């Protein structure tokens, strides 16, 4: 359904992975999609995995959208400023949706997987949180300046369960917790101007890099049940699911009611009646439908018989999720 026709959107970090999937889904919905990345061609290769804006543009246009690729290094504030000035000029001040997704830390995470923070070099922090947390803040500044003028708009920030539970180490966890707080505090200041700020937590998304990580873990014959979720690709989401959920959020006339809150992609998919690329609907990571089979691999093929009951946040905070204690 082309429910975003006439809407102007921007997805940062869309050369590959979740950003590419988001851009394609916005194209499905008929939006004009600006996409950013470090390369228009095949020269942008990270960890042996290539991706470029031209390929994403072709995929978005095939899905039915209008796509405008812009080469941007999100560690360069002037390039980001120029990006928004271009959108301002070309779209007469209209920007309906910003998706903060750019992230340069994937390769560093792969290289330091399993290492304690003191065994890593200090620059790991910058690799993860410069193009990531800081770049989200910078992009949101320029987007907000446009949106408040029209008294409408949505800023979606891609965050992670890692903000509440140790997943990929200290620098990653702190960065994602800060993204969550960034969204919440921006929402307070943007709400009087009818601009929404929403925090999105995807599940386990089968991007190129996560798939490569799963292959690496599998080759090590690791028997930890938590690792088997990766090896078996159990309950994985595709990048397209997050994109379809964002498209639904951008079309929601009552989106301001969600501002400042964490939104779980799988749960939003259920609420909006959205399915993933192959027509399935992965369970939320706080659902018994995921938690029990994740811990007991032998019953995964019977997961359809497990009720989709969500563990309350208060209980998660006391048990699984080790957020800061007060």
Q: Which residues are catalytic?
A: 172
Per DSSP, the three-state class of 264 is: strand
The string of DSSP codes covering 30-81 is T-EEEEEES-SSTT-EETTEE--HHHHHHHHHHHT-EEEEEE--TT-HHHHH
Sign of the Cα torsion 244, 250, 251, 255 reads positive
Place of tokens 């543009």: 57
Beta partners for 196? 154
User: The sheet that has 66-71: what strands, in order across it?
Assistant: 66-71, 32-37, 8-11, 97-100, 153-158, 195-201, 262-264
Beta partners for 156? 99, 198
Per DSSP, the three-state class of 198 is: strand
């Amino acid at each position: 359904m082309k429910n975003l026709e006439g809407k102007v959107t921007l997805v940062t970090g869309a050369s590959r992975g979740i950003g590419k999937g988001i851009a394609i889904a916005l194209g499905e919905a008929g939006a004009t999609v600006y996409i950013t990345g470090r390369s228009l061609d095949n020269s942008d290769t990270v960890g042996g995995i290539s991706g470029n804006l031209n390929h994403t543009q072709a995929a978005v246009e095939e899905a039915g959208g209008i796509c405008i690729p812009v080469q941007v290094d999100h560690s360069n504030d002037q390039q980001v400023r120029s990006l928004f000035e271009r959108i301002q000029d070309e779209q007469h001040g209209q920007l309906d949706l910003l998706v903060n997704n750019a992230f340069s830390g994937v390769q560093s995470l792969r290289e330091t997987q399993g290492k304690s923070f003191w065994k890593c070099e200090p620059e790991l922090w910058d690799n993860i949180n410069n193009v990531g947390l800081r770049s989200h803040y910078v992009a949101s500044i320029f987007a907000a300046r446009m949106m408040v003028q029209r008294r409408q708009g949505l800023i979606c920030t891609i965050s992670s369960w890692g903000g509440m539970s140790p997943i990929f180490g200290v620098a990653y966890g702190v960065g994602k917790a800060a993204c969550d707080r960034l969204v919440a505090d921006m929402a307070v200041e943007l709400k009087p101007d009818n601009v929404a700020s929403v925090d999105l937590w995807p599940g386990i998304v089968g991007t190129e890099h996560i798939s490569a990580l799963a292959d690496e873990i599998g080759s090590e014959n690791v028997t930890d049940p938590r690792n088997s979720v990766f090896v078996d690709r159990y309950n994985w989401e595709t990048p397209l699911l997050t994109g379809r959920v964002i498209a639904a959020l951008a079309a929601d006339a009552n989106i301001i009611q969600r501002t400042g809150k964490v939104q779980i992609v799988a749960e939003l998919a259920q609420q909006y009646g959205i399915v993933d690329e192959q027509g399935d609907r992965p369970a939320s990571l706080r659902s018994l439908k995921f938690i029990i089979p994740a811990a007991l691999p032998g019953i995964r093929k019977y997961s359809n018989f497990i009720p989709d009951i969500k563990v309350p946040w208060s209980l998660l905070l006391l048990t699984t999720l080790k957020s800061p204690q007060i």
